[in-house]
Every structure is written in structure tokens, then in C-alpha cells.
């Protein structure tokens, strides 16, 4: 196997290793997805990172560097179905002993993974094109990110275990409790490991905030679920020593993490609501009000997704409504 330079591996503890694989680059900036290897009687991966060359060559290489082989993996537990975490599991079904596990509601969609990806991509493009119709340059930046991110148009995966809230998965010495934590996507799970008091949070809890995509006709983010997942995870945070998210550094100081996440959401919602109450606004008006600048196209796409998620919540609560002024979609107070 050739040397691959853009991955990182770190044996954090005797029983746990971190693998970082890039899934997006713009200019000099690279974005990475985290994969965790549980080193126990059954070698288990939490997530598989992005799709690389059909054979997950980066994941295989990373495992080799840690002294393991992809063939020895018993199980991959996906925290959610997004391509930066699940793509790496596509195309490695030749390893028959490996069990692919995801939240039960995701199973029927993701087994035809290429079709699922194409569907979500086209929904996202339609929705954001409609919202940004007067800003073709923003649409094209957004589409570039989406094309890069939702990049698999074929591929299947057999899900061997459909996970439910409260399930316990044993890897030998360790047990992982499945906690359904939807909001970032409809099917997110977190994993709680009691012995070492570790929480694996996928994209639900990140060190800064969460990323939201907008509802995407049921395939995207939903703030009502997100807020109730934040309340649900609270009892675990009291006893957690370390949170391992699917992007960025581990989180060790989180005495008020749920409080500050809830506050960030509330503050953003207030800003959006206030802007609309002053003047009927398009999504781009609200983008400028909430995020006056953004450092890269991936951040732009993230911010647009967050704004849309808030707008959909305010609409569902009948606090605002949308109408069309010519081609432009505007939001007004209800």
C-alpha cells in the first residue's frame, strides 16, 4: 500500500484509537471526519469516514498504521448516514464477517446508498436554488459544496443490525448504549460507554456548535428534535469524562455544554425573528444579518443550512410564513 499523507491516527488509550480522514478541501483548508476504533475482543469502528476509492483505502491504511487490518473489524456502528461518516463503509462488503449497524429508521433508505445520496442531493439543490434564486453566485458555491459532499451516486450496503434507542452493544469488556439523538439528521445516535464514562456524539455535539442542514423534506435537520436531544443527553453529561465528536477535537470541558448550545440556538432564533419583524426578509437577507462574513464555501453552506432550519421551525410554530415576491421567497411575521 502506498503512503497516504493526509490522514492522522492516534492511539488515545489502550482500548481506543482515533483516525482522522479528510472529506473536503477548499484552498488550503481541509475538513476532517473522525473515526474511532474500539480495541476490544471484537474490534469495532464508530463510523467509517468518507468514501475513498471504493475500497476505503484511507481507512485501511489508517488501520494498518495502528497495527490492525480491515478484515479484523467485527462491526461498524454509524452515528448517522451522512457520506462523511458512512461513505467509507460503502464498497467494503467483501469482508463478510463485518457487521454494519445503524439506527433502525435509516436502514431502508441507506441500503441503496447511491440512490439515497442522489435523492437528498437533489432535494437540497431544489430547496436552496428556490431560496437563493436572485444570488446565482451563491447558488453555484452552494452546489459545489453539495456536489462534493453528497458525492456517491452508486453503491449499496447491507445493514446487519438495526439499532434502537437503549440497545446495548457489547464488544467484549465494553458495552455501548445506543442513545437516539436526532436533530442534526433524523437518525443520529450517540454511544455511551459506562466503564470509562465516554460519550461518542457523532455530529450531534461538536466542540463549537452543531451543524444543521434544513429539513430537506424529512432527510435533514430539525430544531425541535435537536432541542429535545440536548435535554435528553444532559443526564449523561453529568457523568461523562470525555466527549468524542465526529469532527474536531474531543471535548473535555462541558459543564454547561447543553446550556450554551441551547443558548446559541435561542440567540440565533431571536436574531432571525427580530430581523423578520423589522422587514420581510429573504434567506439571503437573514444570512447577512446573522453571518455578516464567512471564511470559506463550506462555512457558507453550513450557515445557509442553519438559517433554513430556523426558518422551518418558526414556520412550523406559525410564528412566520413565506410568500413569493416575483421569484424571491420572503419570510414575514404571521
Nearer to Zn ion, 209 or 275 (CB): 209
Nearer to Zn ion, 84 or 312 (CB): 84
Contacts with 310 (C-beta within 8 Å, 6 or more apart), sequence order: 223, 268, 269, 272
- Least distance in Å: CB of 185 to Zn ion? 9
Show the beta-strand stretches assigned E in 39-188: 43-46, 73-77, 99-103, 161-163, 168-170, 175-180
Give the integer Cα–Cα distance in Å for 74 and 52: 20
- Least distance in Å: CB of 245 to Zn ion? 9
- Least distance in Å: CB of 328 to Zn ion? 31
Q: What are phi and psi of 189, to 5 degrees?
A: -125, 155
Contact 169, 178 (CB under 8 A): yes
Secondary structure letter of residue 37 according to DSSP: E
Nearer to Zn ion, 84 or 222 (CB): 84
Q: Which long-range contacts (CB under 8 A, 24 or more apart) does 271-276 make?
A: 272/307, 272/310, 272/311, 272/314, 273/314, 273/319, 273/320, 276/314, 276/320, 276/331, 276/332, 276/333
Nearer to Zn ion, 215 or 245 (CB): 245
Give the integer Cα–Cα distance in Å for 6 and 25: 11
Nearer to Zn ion, 15 or 24 (CB): 24
- Least distance in Å: CB of 88 to Zn ion? 12
- Least distance in Å: CB of 34 to Zn ion? 9
Binding site for Zn ion (CB under 5 A): 84, 203
- Least distance in Å: CB of 247 to Zn ion? 6
Nearer to Zn ion, 203 or 312 (CB): 203
Amino acid at each position: 500500500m502506498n503512503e497516504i499523507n493526509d490522514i492522522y491516527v492516534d492511539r488515545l488509550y489502550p482500548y481506543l484509537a482515533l483516525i482522522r480522514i479528510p472529506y473536503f478541501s477548499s484552498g488550503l483548508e481541509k475538513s476532517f471526519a473522525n473515526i474511532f476504533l474500539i480495541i476490544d475482543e471484537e474490534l469495532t469502528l464508530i463510523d467509517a469516514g468518507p468514501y475513498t476509492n471504493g475500497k476505503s483505502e484511507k481507512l485501511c491504511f489508517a488501520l494498518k498504521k495502528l497495527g490492525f487490518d480491515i478484515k479484523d473489524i467485527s462491526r461498524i456502528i454509524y452515528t448517522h448516514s451522512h457520506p462523511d461518516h458512512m461513505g467509507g463503509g460503502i464498497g467494503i462488503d467483501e469482508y463478510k464477517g463485518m457487521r454494519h449497524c445503524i439506527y433502525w429508521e435509516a436502514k431502508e433508505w441507506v441500503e441503496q446508498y447511491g440512490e439515497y445520496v442522489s435523492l437528498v442531493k437533489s432535494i437540497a439543490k431544489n430547496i436552496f436554488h428556490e431560496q437563493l434564486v436572485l444570488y446565482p453566485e451563491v447558488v453555484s458555491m452552494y452546489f459545489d459544496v453539495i456536489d462534493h459532499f453528497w458525492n456517491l451516486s452508486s453503491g449499496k450496503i447491507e445493514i446487519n443490525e438495526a439499532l434502537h434507542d437503549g440497545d446495548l452493544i457489547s464488544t467484549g469488556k465494553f458495552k455501548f448504549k445506543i442513545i437516539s439523538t436526532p436533530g442534526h439528521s433524523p437518525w443520529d445516535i450517540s454511544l455511551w460507554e459506562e466503564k470509562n464514562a465516554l460519550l461518542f456524539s457523532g455530529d450531534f455535539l461538536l466542540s463549537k456548535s452543531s451543524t444543521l442542514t434544513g429539513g430537506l423534506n424529512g432527510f435533514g435537520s430539525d430544531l425541535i428534535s435537536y432541542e429535545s436531544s440536548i435535554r435528553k443527553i444532559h443526564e449523561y453529561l453529568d457523568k461523562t469524562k470525555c466527549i468524542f465528536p465526529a469532527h474536531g477535537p474531543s471535548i473535555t470541558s462541558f459543564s454547561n455544554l447543553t446550556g450554551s448550545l441551547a443558548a446559541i440556538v435561542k440567540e440565533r432564533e431571536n436574531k432571525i425573528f427580530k430581523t423578520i419583524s423589522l422587514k420581510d426578509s429573504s434567506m439571503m437577507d437573514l444570512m447577512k444579518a446573522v453571518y455578516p462574513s464567512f471564511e470559506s464555501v463550506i462555512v457558507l453552506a453550513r450557515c445557509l443550512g442553519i438559517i433554513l432550519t430556523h426558518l422551518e421551525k418558526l414556520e412550523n410554530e406559525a410564528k412566520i410564513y413565506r410568500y413569493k415576491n416575483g421569484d424571491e421567497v420572503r419570510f414575514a411575521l404571521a
